[in-house]
C-alpha cells in the first residue's frame, strides 16, 4: 500500500475531504463496544489529538463537520485551537448503534451473539443512509478543504460504499482489502471533482503523523 503525504487542496474544481477517526478511548483499549455510548478520550487519545492538530497547522480547513459524541468533539478541540472555526456537530455521523451489545466486551458479544452482533441494533441500510445524507450535503458546497471527524465503523462503511456502490476510484497502491477499520486519528483523504462528479479515495487510514503506519488488529471492534 502506497502512503501519500496528506496535503492541502488548492484546486477550486475539487472538494478534498479529510476524514479523521477520533482518538483512542479506554473502551478502545479494553476492547469494549462503544456504538452510541458517549465515551471520552483517554490520555493516549488526547496526545494523538494534539499530534493531529500539529499536522493540520499547514492545511487550512474551510469547514469542519463532526459526530456529536464526546470522543470526536475532544479530538477536534486542539485542531480548533489552531484553526478557530464553527463546527457542525451531527448525530448522523455517529458510530453504528449496536443495541444491546453496546458496553459489552468484544469477546463476550462474540460468545453470546456471534459475529453478527452488530445487526442487533441499527441496520446497515439505516446506518449508510444517515452518513450518505451528510456526505451529499458536503458535495454541494464551494469548499476546497473539509475536515470530517467521525468513527471507525463510519469510515469503513463510507469508504466501501463510495468505492463499491458509487464508483469512487482507488488511488494507486490502494485496493479494496485495505478499506478496513482505520487506526485512531488516522487520516483518510477523498477528492471529488465538481465538473465530472467523479470521486477518488486518495489515501486511507494514514497515520504517518503518529510516527509510523499503524493498523487496527480487532476489526470487529467499534
Question: Which amino acids are annotated as binding site for substrate, given as ranges?
Answer: 21-28, 71
Q: Which residues are annotated as a binding site?
A: 21-28, 71
Burial class of residue 97 (count of CB atoms within 10 Å of its CB; 0-12, 13-18, 19+): middle
Task: For 77-126, give the DSSP string.
Answer: HHHHHHS---EEEEGGGSPPP-GGGTTSBHHHHHHHH-TTGGGGSS-HHH
Is 215 among the residues known to form the active site?
no
Is 81 among the residues known to form the active site?
no
Catalytic residue among 46, 57, 81, 95: 95
Assigned C-alpha cell, 15? 472538494
- What 3-state class would DSSP assign to 135? helix
- What 3-state class would DSSP assign to 154? helix
d(CA 139, CA 16): 10
Active site residues: 22, 95
Amino acid at each position: 500500500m502506497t502512503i501519500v503525504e496528506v496535503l492541502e487542496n488548492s484546486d477550486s474544481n475539487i472538494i478534498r475531504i479529510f476524514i479523521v477517526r477520533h482518538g483512542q478511548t479506554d473502551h478502545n483499549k479494553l476492547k469494549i463496544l462503544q456504538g452510541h455510548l458517549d465515551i471520552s478520550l483517554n490520555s493516549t487519545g488526547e496526545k494523538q489529538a494534539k499530534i493531529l492538530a500539529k499536522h493540520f497547522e499547514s492545511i487550512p480547513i474551510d469547514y469542519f463537520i463532526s459526530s456529536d459524541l464526546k470522543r470526536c468533539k475532544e479530538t477536534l478541540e486542539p485542531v480548533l485551537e489552531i484553526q478557530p472555526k464553527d463546527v457542525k456537530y451531527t448525530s448522523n455521523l455517529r458510530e453504528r448503534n449496536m443495541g444491546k451489545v453496546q458496553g459489552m466486551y468484544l469477546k463476550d458479544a462474540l460468545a453470546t451473539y456471534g459475529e453478527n452482533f452488530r445487526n442487533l441494533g441499527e441496520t446497515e441500510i439505516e446506518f449508510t443512509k444517515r452518513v450518505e445524507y451528510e456526505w451529499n450535503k458536503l458535495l454541494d458546497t464551494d469548499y476546497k478543504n473539509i475536515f470530517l471527524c467521525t468513527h471507525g465503523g463510519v469510515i469503513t462503511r463510507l469508504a466501501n460504499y463510495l468505492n463499491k456502490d458509487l464508483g469512487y476510484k482507488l488511488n494507486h497502491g490502494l485496493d479494496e482489502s485495505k478499506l478496513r477499520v482505520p487506526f485512531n486519528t488516522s487520516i483518510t483523504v477523498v477528492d471529488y471533482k465538481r465538473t465530472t462528479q467523479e470521486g477518488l479515495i486518495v489515501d486511507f487510514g494514514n497515520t504517518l503523523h503518529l510516527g509510523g503506519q499503524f493498523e487496527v488488529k480487532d476489526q470487529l471492534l467499534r
